Structure 1
Amino acid sequence: MTANTVVAALDAASVRRLTTGQVILDDVSWTVRSGEHWALLGANGAGKTTVLRLIGALMHPTTGTVDVLGHRLGRVDMRELRAHIGLVSSSQKVPLDAAAHTVVLTGHTGTVQPLWRKYDAEVRERAHELLAELEIKDLADRAYGVCSGGQRARILVARALMADPALLLLDEPFNALDLPSREDLIDAMHRLALTRTGLATITVTHHLEELSPAIGHVLLLKEGRVLTSGPAEQVLTGERMTQCFGRPIEVSRHEGRWLARSGRR
């Protein structure tokens, strides 16, 4: 995609639970362009996962519109659209006994189990190249189940990249990672941002420390509504974060990395 191409756009998108009428998202408008790296932040229940499900073509809005990769939800085959969106989530179902290379291969078919007849020599080589790009080529024959949390996360990123997506969604990819594993994944995401200049990413996380220096934009959600969005240095302020999370928060930055801590009441 060319620079500044819109890869995802929500226009007054709302989501209501049909059974109870509960408002999950309320009048959310947001645009993500190629090459942009966004963080999606908010307290539990703010609507982060629902926004990611909309952009990931996993659900439709109740009202408003959602456009992803040039297609409007409701006018496109959602399964075909999902094939062009990379998704990384710690809750993804992956066969624990499958080798890392096999797990990456399944990204080509978008399946949990491998479809061996679909993987020619070129596809298999591409999986090896992605493992190398994520600096885990030595894990190719290792069972996914015995890999560390950080290794698993990078295997899932490689899997998501098999479709050569223009949009990569990361739903709490740092969940339960120890410090070295977290830093390995942050470094990997930073490298991807530098080498894949057209790739847009959206990262959902609870901790500013998990944001790579490549994150240039932030969307803050509060109770299903957009509190604010824009360049990270304008959004990640103590005032904005305090407003978003409902308690005093101090924000600092060091060598491109962010830190948030609770201030005194």
Structure 2
Amino acid sequence: MGVSENMLRFTPETLAEVFGQQFVQEFGTNKADEIIDKINKAERVTRYVGTIVARGLNPTASEITSLLNNIPYFIFSKGETLCFASVGVFLMWQKSLNERETINGGTNIHTGIVIDIIRDCSKLKYNRRNNFFTRFFQSIEFIIQSDKVEQEIKEKEITKLNFRVSPNIEADKEIHLNKSFLKVKVTKVSAQPSQSGNYIHTLKTEKKLTYFIALPVKTPVGTETEIDMELYNVIERPYEIKNESGEPQTLQLKWLLGKPKIE
């Protein structure tokens, strides 16, 4: 299945959030806020959005990017900057719609507009190496494959990371003597829940091993705790990516899944 087909599984809001989250992560909040401020204050953008809303029209990727390319700030901007701004214009238009127009437009049509924006902007700058859009497409694929893992493996549902709270030093000693407990740190949490309603958490160990776990509630990034590995099965599932040379590469991701209860 191609990249565009994969993105059709998402709502336009989710695509925008995943893209925006990566943009902020790589370029910072100040850069993102600056771009949002530019499009909010641009008379061309306000006039364009107002016109198509009044006429009951949908925006197109080419219209939005052409519009922004006539604003000095965006003339020489990178593809990812233009894309972030273009998605922002789309969200401005969507917010301006009344409820009836939103229903008539249809989620798939709106998702298609965001896909066109991302796809077109990704082609503006040719880069054989692992660029911003390559990483974004990999994130989309990872979310989809995470959903597949949850659907394929039917294990006991884990509801939260169990924190080890020790009342005294002696208890601490017992924890560290018990080899089944593994120290982990939450380094990343998916922006949106999967189709099963779970958030994908990335866990790093002291020895830099990486595990993934699906939880129905977000655990804050940076959380450090110890988990009892006797409660989990470690399941490996393949994850396809492209390396810096553009060649396909398969990684084996380790997933933690709760062991079924024995009655």
TM value normalised by structure 2 = 0.26
Q: Larger C-alpha radius of gyration, 1 or 2?
A: 2
Q: Which protein has the bigger strand share?
A: 1
Higher relative contact order (CA 8 A, sep 6+): 1
Q: Which protein has the bigger helix share?
A: 2
TM value normalised by structure 1 = 0.26
